[in-house]
Amino acid sequence: MPIYEYRCESCAQKFEVLTRFAERDNAQVCPACESTKTRVLVSSFASFGSGESAASDFMSESSDAGGCACGGACSCGSPN
- Please indicate, yes or no, whether the overall pTM of this predicted structure exceeds 0.75: no
Burial of 52 (0-12, 13-18, 19+ CB in 10 A): exposed
pLDDT tens column, 15-59: 999 999 999 889 899 999 999 999 999 877 777 776 555 555 545
User: Which pLDDT score is estimated for 43?
Assistant: 72
User: Which pLDDT score is estimated for 57?
Assistant: 52
User: Which pLDDT score is estimated for 70?
Assistant: 54
Residue of 66, 68, 61, 64 lying closest to 77 (CA atoms): 68
